[in-house]
Structure 1
Amino acid sequence: MTVATTGFTRPDYVFFGAIGGLLIALAFVLYNMMGVGHAAFNTTSMGVVWGLPIIVYDYFLLTSTGLVFIASLSLVFGIKVFEPIAKRCVWLALAGLTGGVAVLFLELGYPIRALLLTPFAMQTSSPLFWKILLVGLYTALLLLVTLRLHFMRGTAGVRLLSVPLFLAAVGITLVAGSLYGLMSMRPFWFGGEIPVVFLIESFMGGIAFAIFFTFLAHGFTTRGMPDDVKSLFGGVLGQLFAVAIFLHLLFVSGRAITGLYSNAEGLQVWDHIVASPLFHAALWGGIVLPLVLMMVPGLRRQGPIQLLAATLVMLSLFVSRYEFVIGGQLVPLFKGSWAPPLLSYVPSPTEWALLLVGVFLANVVNAFGEWKLDLEWEGHGKG
């Protein structure tokens, strides 16, 4: 394997470190939830019903589908240049999905009930019904492709499984966007472009995670990294990264300008969002700066620049997902005497701990793969 064998990024070090962090965060979450139940979360029935755990789940789920999109460029469409990172992307997709679903299960409180009853409820007009079914199908297909790639010799039959996996990933991403985009009572979310935007952001996040965790596997250096991977990051993948970031910038800036200009009920929340320093940090530091870095060929080919851009995009996407989900709920639906102009929401310590649970669990799964499996494609050696 061409992974780091010294330093703090050794897969076994990351694995055991992530397990330690997971146990601490999980113990904190379970202690609070067993003591006060869902009151440990700062969500309320007065408007903000989807809090940080839902944001974390969506973030990891869309990252997982984005990684499948990257792997599918080789496994489905046969583009050879993406072959060196296909196995790592599939394993990362499984790791991200595991972390996200675990957070959702802990947020639901009684996930088995939802899993058992949803398929038989037949609420076919609800995007949430289709999202749950597609996530189940996607999980099964992802496990099959992972088993085929890592535990069986040869590549025969991989494409047969990869095609439905790719279609399931596209379906989940579009339905996840429709879940928000179809809510006409929430003007901040409503719009036919939202599912397409989710596709773009998923693809962008997949590239960022593929770059970051490939560097992590090689000790945050290009030494020992296969030549074809270095060429891919500085060439085609870096160019696709720049295009995806640019499209994301158009979406964020276009929505902000439209929201600030409009006087439609429900869009006044844009004044609150744009006034936030976090919005500008994500916009200028997490979108514009990585775009510039990836657009300049001389910078794009430098390993530290690729790592910096990927890290900034990962953080920016999380901030954007937070602002999107929470921002859509801040305007009260029903204007009673109790209702302020905008609701408020700050994640509780338990909710932040759930974020850590998802992050640590995803890293446990990924580090195990880097430690015990060969995530480099066969035939690709060190540079």
Structure 2
Amino acid sequence: MATQTHGSGAVTAVMMAGLAGLVISLAIAFTNLVSGGHSAFNTGSDGVSWGLPVVNYVFFALTSTGLTLVASVAMTFGNKAWYPIAKRCVWLSLVTLVAGFASLAMELGHPFRMLWAIPLNAQLVSPLNWMGIFYAVFLVLGILKFMRIHGGDWNSSGSKQIGLAALVTELLAGGMLGMAFGAMAMRPMWYGNLVPLYFILTAACTGGAFAVLVTCLSYGGPDNMPEPVRKLMQGSLPMAFAALLGLTILVIGYRTVIGLWSNADGLQVWDAVVASPWYWVEAALLIGAFFLLLQRKALAVAAVMVIGGFFIDRYDFVIGGQLLPLFKGSWVPDLIAYTPSTTEWMLTLLAFSIAFFGWALGEKMLKLDAAPQD
């Protein structure tokens, strides 16, 4: 049953900010790309090949996976208390995936070549190939699922089967994204058979953060929330989020200690990562958010802290794994220097603008607060 949200002022402000971000980022990015081509990016085959646009893609693609996991608590696993945020999470999972794709497409240069290149030259043993296929399939399934619940069909057999298929496909896609990094033995910071699980775990954290943030923005504060939403936001949601975040903080800590302790060639990049002030900003944000969630206070602030912390984590992972040259010798005595260009930062603004503008537009037009009546 749909309820009237009261955070329309916040939703409108976010929508206007997102629209402004879209206009500014597209104008600057297109101008730079038309005039300079791929030289607008501070990347290259002899240095960091995957720059900030790939960080954006990894962040938002995994956030989409996490939002699907949050929605599935109600729609797949039957916890009816989570229904009030389920439709919002389904919609946002689609929007964030589009945001990630948009950043990656602008970096690729000719993304529509995939329409013929993939079916005619499919690399069946490549995780990147399957990642693209699974995310494309999820996009279709996610749209079908949203159309079902938007039409009031939450619990029919067909709706549940589509939801389950979407969940499995998203988990496979996120896992394949992890395999794309974890299978690269030449990049020691990335390499490992547990990277797909790490990606799924951190995806759940960012998905939970976005779910909490947009729910707070939708109603403008706890006093305006309907009783089922307020009960969820003051009860099981922050506790589940805190438990998940606490586990993830431990995993990040273990990865850091192992990276610093190991003397394997290539892992010395961990020294540079930990020496950066941004690593400690990430730690402060995630630990601070963990304690806020335990106290069930300032949930929107905690969500923003988690989003910021994990964006830094994605940057450290994607960029840090490339800072050591593949063929290091006396002619390359140090780590590779990389600073994102203006165009790359504009694509970050573009991705965040798409995510928040798309959510706010859905909030205005698609009754994202709806839930089943029974």
TM-score range, shorter chain: over 0.9
1:62-141 correspondence to structure 2 within 5 Å: 62-141=62-141
SS at match of 1:267: coil
Shift of 1:310: 1.1
Partner residue, 2:290: 291
2:7–2:217 Cα contact (<8 Å) kept: no
Q: 1:271 offset after TM fit, Å?
A: 0.8
Q: Which residue of 1 aligns with 2:150?
A: 150
Structure 1 residues 6, 149: closer, same or farther in 2, change over 3 A?
A: closer
Q: TM-score normalized by structure 2? A: 0.95
Deviation at 1:337, TM superposition (A): 4.7
Deviation at 1:151, TM superposition (A): 3.7
- Picking from 3, 6, 15, the partner of 2:5 is 3
RMSD: 1.6
Q: Secondary structure at the match of 1:27?
A: helix
Ranges of 4+ aligned residues in structure 1 off by more than 4 Å: 152-155
For the 8 Å contact 2:245–2:290, the answer to whether it is kept is: yes
**What is the identity percentage for the equivalent residue pairs of Structure 1 and Structure 2?**
39
State the alpha-carbon separation in 2 of the partners of residues 187 and 46 from structure 1: 18
CA distance in 1, matches of 2:41, 2:149: 40
Q: CA deviation at 1:20?
A: 2.4
Q: Which digits, 9 at most, give the CA deviation of each residue in 1:109-133, with x for residues without a partner? A: 1000023212332311110010011
TM superposition shift of 1:47: 2.7
- Equivalenced residues, count: 370
Shift of the 100–231 alpha-carbon distance from structure 1 to 2, 3 Å rule, reads same
Give yes or no for the alignment of 1:178 onto 2:164: no
Match of 1:50 in 2: 50
Q: Which amino acid aligns with 2:285?
A: G
Q: Give secondary structure in 2 for the equivalent of 1:48.
A: coil
**2:197 corresponds to which residue?**
196
* Equivalence for 1:267: 267
For residue 22 of structure 2, what is the amino acid of its counterpart?
Answer: L
**By how many angstroms is 1:154 displaced?**
6.0
Give the match's secondary structure for 2:223: coil
Q: 2:347 aligns with which of 346, 354, 358?
A: 354
Structure 1: any 5+ residue segments left out of the alignment?
none
Aligned to 1:326: 319
1: distance between equivalents of 2:5 and 2:115?
A: 38
Q: Tell me the residue number matched to 1:372.
A: 365
CA distance in 2, matches of 1:337, 1:260: 23
Q: Counterpart of 1:206?
A: 207
Which secondary structure state, in structure 1, belongs to the residue aligned with residue 224 of structure 2?
Answer: coil
Give the CA deviation at 1:155: 4.3
After superposition, residues 297-312 of structure 1 pair within 5 angstroms as 299-300=295-296, 302=297, 304=298, 306-312=299-305
CA shift in 2, pair 1:5/1:186, >3 Å: closer
Q: Deviations over 1:318-365 (max 9, x none)?
A: 000000001100011102453232101110010000011111112221
Which stretch shifts more, 350-359 or 19-28?
Answer: 19-28
Structure 2 letter corresponding to 1:319: I
Counterpart for residue 162 of structure 2: 161
Give the whole-Å Cα distance in 2 for the aligned partners of 1:26 and 1:12: 21
